[in-house]
A and B are shown apart, each in its own frame.
Chain A
Amino acid sequence: MAWFNNCEGISRRDSLKLGLGGLIAGGLVGGLKARAASPLLNLSRQADACILIWMDGGPSHYETFDPKPDAPLEIRGAYGTVPTKIPGIHFSQHLKRLASLSDKFAVVRSIRHDQGNHGAGNHYMMTGAPPRIPVGCGAFVSFHPSLGSVVAKEVGAPHGIPAYFSMPRMSRSGGPNFLGAKYAPFVVADDPANTAFRVRDVTIPNSLTADRFISRQDFRREIDRMLRINDAAAGDPTLAADEFFQQGLQIINSPEAQAAFNIHAESDAVREAFGRSSFGQRALLARRLVEAGVPFVTLYEGGWDHHRDIFNVMDERMPSFESTLAALIEDLAKRGRLERTLVVALGEFGRTPKVNSRGGRDHWSNAMSVLFAGGGTPGGIVVGATDRLGYAAIDRVVTPENYVSTIYRKMGIDPDKIVHTPEGRPTHLVSEGTAIHELLG
C-alpha cells in the first residue's frame, strides 16, 4: 500500500499510528497547540443502515411526489392525484400505497441543482460533489467518494461482511474514488427472484456440498506451509491474507451471516408482499442484509429517463415499483427496524414541466423530489416546495450537498470530516456540510 504525505506533511499511516487523525482535521500545529472540541455538531447516529433506491435516469417529480393538478394540461400531464394522510398534500395517482403510508416518511420537494445530464447528475447526487470537469450524458465518472463507500469506511460491517452492497450493478458514480478499492461496492448481479439465486462468493457454490467444502479446509490446513514473518515491523502480506481468509470462513460458517444472504428462508407471504419482481426481491434481500449489519445497500433501478411516452411507461412500471417501496417501509416498520434504518429513493434530477411532443418529459434539475423514510426521519412531512407549476424549487431550496450531508449526519458521519486525496490534498466529505434539519427530527 502506498502512503502519501498530506498537505500538512504528515502521512496518513503516521497519523493512524499516532492516533492523530483528529488533530490533522484542525491543522496539525493549531491542533497541537490548542485543541478545542467543535461545539457545533451533534453527531449521534440516527440510523444504522441506509437503503438507497436509485432511480437512474431521473424520475419525474410530477408523476411521483409533486403533482400539479391545477397546472395546464401540458404541464400537469395525464395523471390525477391521490390524497395522502397529510392534509392538503397529494401524490401522483399511482402512489396509492405510499400515500396511505405517508405518515411514515418525509418528502423533500425542493432539491435543486445545476447538472442536467445523467453523468453529472449522478455524480452530484451520489457523492455530494459536482463533477470537476464537464461530463457527458452517458458518462460514468468519479471524482469523489460515493455515499456508500464513505459509509463502508466510516461505519463498516461486522464479521468482515462487505459493508457496501450494490445490486444488481454499481451505480454510475457509486465508487470509492480515492478511498481505495477496499470500499468499492460488493456487486451482486444475480437475480434474487430466481430459484437458484445465491449471493456470489459469500456462500458456497451451489455445485459444492458442505462436506466437500469442509474437506477442502482440512486439505488446506495440511498443505499451507509458507513461512509467516510474524514480526509486524516486516509488513508481511501473508498475515493480512490469513486474517481475511479466516474472516471469509467466519462469514461462511456464521448462521447469522448466511441467513442474511439466504432469501429463500423468507416465507412466501413476505416474498409476495415485496413483489416477485427482481426489484421486489432485491429490496427484500436489502432488508435482510441491513438486519445482519450491512450499513449501506444501493438498489440500482434503471429506466427512469422518460423522454417519451411517460404515462404509458409509468402505468406499466409504477404500481409494482411503489408497491415494493411501500412493502419495504411497512416491513421495516412492522419489524421495529424502521427507526434505525434509513430508506431513501431518488434519481439524479426531476423532469421538464411541459410534456414534450413525444409524450415524455426531459431532464430538469431545477426541481426534484426525494423520499426519506426511517432512521429518525419524522413521518408525515413535506420539506420545501416548487412553484405553482413545478418549474423550480422556490421554498426551502436545498442542494445536493445538503442532501448528502443529511445522510451522513444520520449515519453518524461528520460531513465536514477531512479526507485526503492521493495528492495529499485535504478535502471535506461535503464542501458545505449543512444537513436538512427538518429530516433530522
Chain B
Amino acid sequence: MNVSRPAKLAALLITATSCFAGHANEPVSFELDVQPILTAAGCNAGACHGKQRGQNGFQLSLLGFDSDFDYQAIVQQARGRRVVHGAPASSLLLQKATATTPHGGGRKIDPASAEYTVLANWIEQGTQRRVTGEPKLSDVRLDNVELSLASGKKQRLSVHASYSDGSIRNVTDRTTFLSNDATVAIVSVDGEVIAGKLPGETAILARYMNHIKVCDVVIPRQQVVAADFYDRLPRNSFIDEMVWSKLRKLGIRPSEPIDDATFLRRAYTDIIGRLPSADEAREFLAIENRNQRRELVDDLLERPEYADHWANQWADLLRPNPYRVGIKAVLNYDNWIRQQFRENVRYDEFVSQLVTAKGSTWTNGPATLYRDRRSPDETTTLISQLFLGVRLECAKCHHHPFERWSQDDFYQFAAFFANVDRKGTGLSPPISGGEETVFASLKGEVRHPVTDEVMSARPLFGSLPPISTNGVRSNEQLEPRELLAGWMRSEGSELLAQTQANRIWAALMGRGIVEPVDDFRSTNPPSNPELIAELGRHFRSSGFDLKDLLRTIVNSNVYSLSSIPNETNVADRQNFSRHYRQRFRAEVMADSMRQITEVDFDFEGMPVGSRASQVWTYRSDSIFLDTFGRPNENQDPPCERTPEATVTQALHLMNGVEIERQIRHDHGYAAKLASGTFSTDKIVEELYLAIYSRYPTKSELAVGARLLAANDPVHRRQSIEDVMWAMINSPEFSIQN
C-alpha cells in the first residue's frame, strides 16, 4: 500500500466540499481527517470519552486537543482491538461508532457516510500517525464575523481551514456550531443561522478542532425610531454616550428617568447596603436643588456602612474556609479587606497586596489567601479569574474548550506561585487553628502534568520574559509573585481594570457588560464592547479609585432609568435601556429590616448591634441570611450567591420568628409609632418613608388610614404591626425598583 503521496493529499485538501478521502488508496491523515470526524461526532466530548477517566475504559483527550494521546488510545490500547488493519469493519472503533456492537452513546456514524469511509480507509492503510509531508492546521476562518438578520431570516455560515503548505479546505461539515443565546438565534449542525422572532443579539461560535471563531448576530428592531431621538437624550458622561449609541444601533428607546424617591432608595441600597431611614428620606425629598443627587452620592460614599457593604461583597469572593485556615485567620483576613475599603486603597494596590502576600496569617490578613489556597494550581484559578476575568480552570486538565488557553498557559502561570512556602501549623486536624507563615522559598517548581517539564513562570500574554523559578535564586532578585503583580499593573492592567469595573457595574446595574462577570473571552463577547473598554480606561486613569468609579456610574443618566419598560425595550436584558429589577442581597435585606424595625438581629458570635454586612463568617448562625442566600465558604467554590427567589424566602418573611419579634418588639418602631402623638395619617406617611422610601399616594394614604383606624392603644399598635408586616411582605420592600 502506498501511503506517501503528498501531492495527492494536497490536491485533496484544496477540494472545496465533501472533500474527504473517498478512495481507499488516498492517504488519510490522523490529525487532519480522523480527529475532526471524531470531534464532530462528539466522541471526545466532555460527557463521553473526553471526560477525565474516559468512558468504559476508552479515553480520548477533550475535543481532541492531544493528538498523540488519542492516537495511542485508539491504536495501541485495548490490545489493539480498536483497529483491525486487515478488516477495518471489524475494528471496535467502527463497530461502536456505528452501534453494530452495543454502544452506550448509540450510533454516531452512519456506515454509509463519507466519515465512515475515511475512518475505514485510515485503518485499512495501517493507521498511520502521520502521512508523509503532512501539513499542519494553521488557521481557521469563518466567512461571516458579523451578521444583521431580520427576524426569521436565515444565513449559512461556512468555515475554511488553512494549512502550513498553503492549502485551504472547506471544513464546514466538521465544524461544531453553537449559539450563545438560542432565544435570539439558533444555528443548525451544518451552520445555518436562523434569526429568532425577537430583536436582540448573540454570538454564534464555530469550533473546528482547537480553533474557535465567533460571529456576532444582531436582529434589529423593524420599527424606526426618529433619527434625532438619540441626539436629544441627556448625557452626563461617556456612559450615557455609549449606551445611547448602542440603543440607537438596536433601534430601542431607553425607559423614562426615575423620580427622586426611587433614586434615593437605589442609591442607599447600592452604595451603603441599607434603606434610608424615614428621616433621611424626608430630608432628601424636601431638597430642591439640581445637584441633590450628586451630593447624596458624595455623602453616602463617606458613610461607614459604605466600607462594610463593599468589603462584604469582596469577602464573598475571598473568604476562606475556616476549617482550612482557622477562625482567627478568617477574622484577620476579613479585617484587612474592610480596612482597604475604609481607606479607599487603590484597587491595583489591593490586588498587588493579595498577590504578593507573605508573613503570618495571624498578623497579615492577605497572607491567609495562601493558607487557604495551598497549591500553585489552586492559586492560579483564583487569581486569574478574580482579578483578570480569565477562567483558567479548564486548562488545568485540558485545552480550554473555547479559548486559546492551553495547559502550558496554566502551568506557566502557576509557576509564579511555585516557591510560595509555609511554615507553622499546616492542615492540622481537627480545626487547623494554628498560625502559619507564608514566605518566598528559594525552591519550588511546577511541572507540566503531561510532559513533566519544569515550567518557567510566564504571564498570560505580553512581554515579561520567562522566569525560571527552579533552583536557588539570589535574594536580590524580585520574587516571581512581585513580577506577576507588576505585570498585572502594567500589561495586564487593562484586564485588571475591566474585570473590576464590570463587577461594580453589575452590582449597580443588575447585570455585567460581560456576563458572567469574571468570564472575559472572545467567545463570550461584552454586550457593549466600547463601554467596557472605556469604563476600564476611566478606572485606570483615575488611579483605580473605586469611589470614583461608583460615583461615575451612579451619576450617569443610564443609572437613573426606570425599570418600567416601553414597547421597544421590554425584552432588553443586556443593553441597559432600563433598570433591571433584582432582589436585594441577604445582608441588605437584613440591615434594612433592622433599619425599619429598630430591632437588631442576633448574629451568633457578633457583638450586640452588629449589622449583617459586618458578619465575617458563615459560621455565625443566621437563618435569615441563610434563607436569602449567602456564600457558604465551606463549599468549593464558595462564591455562589443566588439572587433567585425561593418559597422558603417567602415563608421566612411571612412567618419567621425573628422577623415577628422585630416587628412586634416593645422597643421597636411599630410600638414607638403607636405610643407617640402622631396622627394616623402621619403614621402612614412614616411607614411609607421607612419601608418604601417614598411618600404614600393619596389613595395609599386613605387605605392606610382606614387600616389603622382602631382607637384603643392595643389594637392600634397591632394594626401598625400588621401594616408593617404587609408592606415587608410585598415585593416593593425586597425588590429594587
Which residues of A line the B interface, CB within 8 A? Answer: 1-2, 4-5, 7-11, 14, 17-18, 24-40, 117, 119, 132-143, 160, 162, 175, 177-178, 180-182, 184, 186-187, 200-205, 207-208, 212, 215-216, 219-220, 222-227, 229, 231, 233-238, 240-245, 247-249, 251-252, 418, 422-426, 428, 431
State in angstroms the CA–CA spacing of A202 and B650 once bound together: 10
Residue pair A38, B652 in contact (C-beta under 8 Å): no
Task: Point out the residues of chain A lying under 8 angstroms from B732, CB to CB.
Answer: 224-226
Residue pair B735, A238 in contact (C-beta under 8 Å): yes
Most A CB contacts (10 A, CB to CB) among B523, B581, B651 go to B651
Chain A's nearest CB lies how many Å from the CB of B614? 22
Chain B's nearest CB lies how many Å from the CB of A117? 6
The 8 closest A-B pairs by CB, nearest first: A36-B106, A30-B42, A27-B42, A138-B430, A27-B45, A9-B178, A137-B429, A219-B726
Supposing A29-B41, A34-B106, A425-B394 touch, asked if A136 and B432 sit within 8 A by C-beta, the answer is yes
Residue pair B104, A34 in contact (C-beta under 8 Å): no
The listed residue (B651, B725, B729) touching A201 by CB distance below 8 A is B651
Closest to B627 in A: A201
State in angstroms the CA–CA spacing of A198 and B110 once bound together: 62
Which residues of B line the A interface, CB within 8 A? Answer: 40-43, 45-48, 51, 53, 62, 99, 102, 104-110, 176, 178-183, 186, 189, 198, 205, 207, 321, 323-324, 374-375, 378, 391, 393-394, 401-402, 427-432, 515-516, 519, 523-524, 563-565, 570-571, 573, 580-583, 623, 626-627, 629, 632, 634-637, 640, 642-652, 654-657, 660, 664, 700, 703-704, 707, 718, 722-723, 725-727, 729-732, 734-735, 737
Supposing A200-B623, A219-B722 touch, asked if A24 and B660 sit within 8 A by C-beta, the answer is no
Task: Point out the residues of chain B lying under 8 angstroms from A227, CB to CB.
Answer: 564
State in angstroms the CA–CA spacing of A18 and B178 once bound together: 13
State in angstroms the CA–CA spacing of A235 and B178 once bound together: 24
Most A CB contacts (10 A, CB to CB) among B391, B429, B571 go to B429
Q: A26-B106, A237-B645, A244-B649 are known; give 8 further A-B pairs, CB within 8 A.
A: A7-B401, A10-B178, A33-B42, A38-B104, A223-B700, A223-B703, A252-B654, A426-B45
Task: Point out the residues of chain B lying under 8 angstroms from A25, CB to CB.
Answer: 47
A-B contact pairs, 8 of them (CB 8 A): A9-B178, A14-B183, A119-B323, A180-B642, A205-B657, A226-B735, A237-B731, A251-B651
Residue pair B632, A240 in contact (C-beta under 8 Å): no
Residue pair B650, A248 in contact (C-beta under 8 Å): yes
Residue pair A234, B565 in contact (C-beta under 8 Å): yes
Residue pair A28, B42 in contact (C-beta under 8 Å): yes
Closest to A418 in B: B47
Chain A's nearest CB lies how many Å from the CB of B645? 4
Chain A's nearest CB lies how many Å from the CB of B308? 22
Residue pair A229, B727 in contact (C-beta under 8 Å): no
Task: Point out the residues of chain A lying under 8 angstroms from B648, CB to CB.
Answer: 162, 186, 201
Task: Point out the residues of chain B lying under 8 angstroms from A30, CB to CB.
Answer: 41-43, 45, 48, 105-106, 108
Task: Point out the residues of chain B lying under 8 angstroms from A236, CB to CB.
Answer: 563, 581
Task: Point out the residues of chain B lying under 8 angstroms from A224, CB to CB.
Answer: 726, 730-732
Task: Point out the residues of chain B lying under 8 angstroms from A4, CB to CB.
Answer: 516, 519
Residue pair B565, A231 in contact (C-beta under 8 Å): yes
Residue pair A18, B432 in contact (C-beta under 8 Å): no
Residue pair B189, A32 in contact (C-beta under 8 Å): yes
Chain A's nearest CB lies how many Å from the CB of B134? 25
The listed residue (A32, A202, A238, A247) touching B731 by CB distance below 8 A is A238
State in angstroms the CA–CA spacing of A240 and B582 once bound together: 11
State in angstroms the CA–CA spacing of A124 and B327 once bound together: 25
Chain A's nearest CB lies how many Å from the CB of B223? 16
State in angstroms the CA–CA spacing of A205 and B660 once bound together: 8
The listed residue (A220, A235, A426, A431) touching B46 by CB distance below 8 A is A426
State in angstroms the CA–CA spacing of A416 and B656 once bound together: 39
Most B CB contacts (10 A, CB to CB) among A39, A135, A187, A251 go to A135
Residue pair A237, B182 in contact (C-beta under 8 Å): no
State in angstroms the CA–CA spacing of A18 and B185 once bound together: 12
Residue pair A142, B636 in contact (C-beta under 8 Å): yes
State in angstroms the CA–CA spacing of A184 and B722 once bound together: 30
Task: Point out the residues of chain B lying under 8 angstroms from A36, CB to CB.
Answer: 99, 105-107
Chain B's nearest CB lies how many Å from the CB of A252? 8
Chain A's nearest CB lies how many Å from the CB of B65? 12
Task: Point out the residues of chain A lying under 8 angstroms from B178, CB to CB.
Answer: 8-10, 28
Task: Point out the residues of chain A lying under 8 angstroms from B402, CB to CB.
Answer: 5, 9
Task: Point out the residues of chain B lying under 8 angstroms from A424, CB to CB.
Answer: 394
The listed residue (B181, B524, B626, B723) touching A223 by CB distance below 8 A is B723
Residue pair B703, A181 in contact (C-beta under 8 Å): no
Task: Point out the residues of chain B lying under 8 angstroms from A135, CB to CB.
Answer: 323-324, 427
Most B CB contacts (10 A, CB to CB) among A9, A227, A236, A244 go to A9
Residue pair B181, A240 in contact (C-beta under 8 Å): no
Task: Point out the residues of chain A lying under 8 angstroms from B48, CB to CB.
Answer: 26-27, 30
Residue pair B323, A31 in contact (C-beta under 8 Å): no
Residue pair B644, A182 in contact (C-beta under 8 Å): yes
Residue pair A247, B650 in contact (C-beta under 8 Å): yes
Task: Point out the residues of chain A lying under 8 angstroms from B207, CB to CB.
Answer: 9
Supposing A8-B178, A33-B41 touch, asked if A247 and B647 sit within 8 A by C-beta, the answer is yes
Task: Point out the residues of chain A lying under 8 angstroms from B634, CB to CB.
Answer: 139-142, 175
Residue pair B655, A234 in contact (C-beta under 8 Å): no
Supposing A219-B725, A224-B726, A244-B650 touch, asked if A34 and B110 sit within 8 A by C-beta, the answer is yes
Chain B's nearest CB lies how many Å from the CB of A278? 19
Residue pair B430, A136 in contact (C-beta under 8 Å): yes
Task: Point out the residues of chain B lying under 8 angstroms from A422, CB to CB.
Answer: 637, 640
